[in-house]
Structure 1
């Protein structure tokens, strides 16, 4: 049956890893950049260092074992195999929570928060904060299948996620997401199909600022304008390439592990606390774990196609569902509450963290947990 839930175990065959080793050993690098910073992209010295570690020090089997400690499953929705983790809490009153990653992230982003969310009592928390977690891989990402037809934008994914939760027996649930996961989660709220009880997002995508924000911006709003303007002039190139020519980009990312790694890791430097390299804010093994989910599944092109589907005209339909928003200071977009309220009509929680950025669950897991708990702690299924 197409609606069947199939068990799945991550088991990468050794020849695939041997091929990666051979490619890393034969990697060809460009010349050194003529600047002393990241302004022209990820520096040669850093890429060479990470590539050498990837070749000589990194252990995929460690990551594979860590992932396989949790139950993994597959199910077909609208012709595409969807991979997901389903981790049930030992607490009898735990509530279902759907969590969605984005680009260039993956399910790896949530590895440090799975334990505290499913079994808070075992991690110094309270049983009332327990959740049954459903963590899918976006279509074309990770171990999910790759859509063979166009149409898999955030609206289709939001509907598919609702089908997934119903298929798992959750007729009421909460939803959380960042990056594309925030877009999908916001659309779940906008669609309001009757099953999701509330959403939490840590990338707050809104429309143009309202007149009162434009005419009398606060200091924080002025900073938000500057941050997004800098993104539009210096940081959006990757998105325009993925939006316009994902197939062309895919040849390089499919053929070169170093190219795939550099394409991803640059964002972990630019969208996090102001470190000089991603290693300042993230564990290097965890960074490469995330890269591996793209490399092993040849997902460079298939992941980029989501930009083709949904980046040009982002869905900013009004959301009347109970909503919580968390602003992390190094995020791409940091709208104010009065700005966000123009889209999110039932804004029940607003949090502003004092550190962290785009990959909050991976960069500042304790702060991320606090925000999720504060948001859904005040909502009812």
Structure 2
């Protein structure tokens, strides 16, 4: 595979869009279980409405155009064609920043935040805070997927993306920012490639221990965290167990049914965002469907489960007891899915320089609160310039 990036523009074939619409029109919905509408998963009435909009109102070509407004490339790396956006910063000395999504996200998460990071003066900011931003589709996700390609756990993703930044793009040192698996990858890079990381900014503390045995004498905040974690494990973590143990069985249904795929993903957008029960208060219907449609058109949902399988079968961000010494920052959004306290984070991040308690927002920070997230990223990395 060549390590020379090739310009890329997304264009889904008309016949693939027609096939999607035909499938949506033939959707067979389940009945709604008695009880609260979302108590057992995605509300069927909401899903019916969403599928109808996807079929008759959603403009995929507009979402394509929004993505294609940014420079995109593909490069042969680690046995796959890796897709990434590469946007040069408009400032005197833009810092290279690797911007990382997670599951069930995609590069569509970042369309509102990219201009804030690359051209801060456009938003009333200082050009000296500009970044040159690299936004990959994670290996196995979206446009970084083709059938039967190698699968990637978090350490393998970190190795691949380090080579993108270092070997392909020539950045000796760079920053990294991420949530969800993106936060795990940023943390792994900080651990395994310490020399190359200027700093990392995360909005999920993936590297902090979830083992109650790691907190033998918990503080009040740590006890609150352990209680939240116990509730999460009981009520919310079922998706991770099935994606980590039997990903292919689940993927059959989600690859065959666009409504099934939407139901699986939209429930996470609702449960994990700061939406008060109304998803579209936090994330627009069009951007949500753009993300879901990208999984559909690329057929990548099976491969996207692989980090869960890797974690369940021994892949780690860092070995238990080890620490991360790279300068680090955490944006603590109030509706994040897991919220370790600073005391727990400092056991792993030995140079934790910034801890920002956000007034609003949830798991999908770049989608929900791009201005708040961009400002915090600029403030943190500005202190490291």
Q: Provide the TM-score with structure 1 as the length reference.
A: 0.95
In the TM superposition, residue 367 of structure 1 has moved relative to its aligned partner by 1.5
Contact 1:139–1:146 at 8 Å: present in 2 too? no
Which residue does 2:160 correspond to in 1? 160
Deviation per CA, 1:289-312, whole angstroms, max 9, x where unpaired? 111110110111111122111245
Q: Is 2:10 aligned against 1:10? A: yes
Which residue does 1:52 correspond to in 2? 52
Query: Which whole-Å CA distance do the structure 2 matches of 1:345 and 1:90 have between them?
Result: 33
In the TM superposition, residue 316 of structure 1 has moved relative to its aligned partner by 3.7
- For structure 1, the residue ranges without an aligned partner over 5 or more in a row are none
Query: Which whole-Å CA distance do the structure 1 matches of 2:304 and 2:213 have between them?
Result: 36
After TM superposition, the structure 1 stretch with the greater mean CA deviation from structure 2, 298-307 or 254-263, is 298-307
Which residue does 1:127 correspond to in 2? 127
The equivalent position to 1:325 in structure 2, one of 325, 330, 354, is 330
Contact 1:33–1:43 at 8 Å: present in 2 too? no
Which residue does 2:361 correspond to in 1? 356
Query: Which whole-Å CA distance do the structure 1 matches of 2:118 and 2:377 have between them?
Result: 13
In the TM superposition, residue 169 of structure 1 has moved relative to its aligned partner by 1.9
Which residue does 1:217 correspond to in 2? 219
Residue correspondence of structure 1 range 117-266 to structure 2 within 5 A = 117-146=117-146, 148=148, 152-166=152-166, 167-192=168-193, 194-205=195-206, 206-208=208-210, 215-218=217-220, 220-266=221-267
Q: Is 2:310 aligned against 1:305? A: no
Q: Is 2:336 aligned against 1:336? A: no
Which residue does 2:97 correspond to in 1? 97
SS of 1:10's equivalent in the other structure is coil
In the TM superposition, residue 70 of structure 1 has moved relative to its aligned partner by 0.5
After TM superposition, the structure 1 stretch with the greater mean CA deviation from structure 2, 364-373 or 104-113, is 364-373
After TM superposition, the structure 1 stretch with the greater mean CA deviation from structure 2, 337-346 or 192-201, is 192-201
Query: Which whole-Å CA distance do the structure 1 matches of 2:351 and 2:340 have between them?
Result: 16
Deviation per CA, 1:154-213, whole angstroms, max 9, x where unpaired? 111111111101211211110111100000000000002522211111110211578896
In the TM superposition, residue 280 of structure 1 has moved relative to its aligned partner by 2.3
Query: Which whole-Å CA distance do the structure 2 matches of 1:310 and 1:82 have between them?
Result: 22
After TM superposition, the structure 1 stretch with the greater mean CA deviation from structure 2, 322-331 or 175-184, is 322-331
Contact 2:145–2:300 at 8 Å: present in 1 too? no
In the TM superposition, residue 221 of structure 1 has moved relative to its aligned partner by 3.7
Query: Which whole-Å CA distance do the structure 2 matches of 1:312 and 1:33 have between them?
Result: 34
Deviation per CA, 1:58-82, whole angstroms, max 9, x where unpaired? 0000000110010110011111111
Which residue does 1:277 correspond to in 2? 278
Which residue does 1:379 correspond to in 2? 384
Q: What is the total number of aligned residue pairs between the two structures?
A: 379
After TM superposition, the structure 1 stretch with the greater mean CA deviation from structure 2, 61-70 or 365-374, is 365-374
Contact 1:227–1:332 at 8 Å: present in 2 too? no
After TM superposition, the structure 1 stretch with the greater mean CA deviation from structure 2, 126-135 or 275-284, is 275-284
SS of 1:105's equivalent in the other structure is coil
Which residue does 1:20 correspond to in 2? 20
Give the direction of change, closer, same or farther, for the CA distance of 1:212–1:50 in structure 2 (3 Å limit).
Answer: closer
In the TM superposition, residue 35 of structure 1 has moved relative to its aligned partner by 1.2
Give the direction of change, closer, same or farther, for the CA distance of 1:324–1:146 in structure 2 (3 Å limit).
Answer: farther
Give the direction of change, closer, same or farther, for the CA distance of 1:2–1:310 in structure 2 (3 Å limit).
Answer: farther
Contact 2:145–2:298 at 8 Å: present in 1 too? no
Which residue does 1:36 correspond to in 2? 36
SS of 2:305's equivalent in the other structure is helix
Query: Which whole-Å CA distance do the structure 2 matches of 1:151 and 1:251 have between them?
Result: 17
In the TM superposition, residue 225 of structure 1 has moved relative to its aligned partner by 2.6
Give the direction of change, closer, same or farther, for the CA distance of 1:253–1:208 in structure 2 (3 Å limit).
Answer: closer
Which residue does 2:87 correspond to in 1? 87
Contact 1:151–1:309 at 8 Å: present in 2 too? no
Contact 1:210–1:339 at 8 Å: present in 2 too? no
SS of 2:289's equivalent in the other structure is helix
Q: Provide the TM-score with structure 2 as the length reference.
A: 0.94
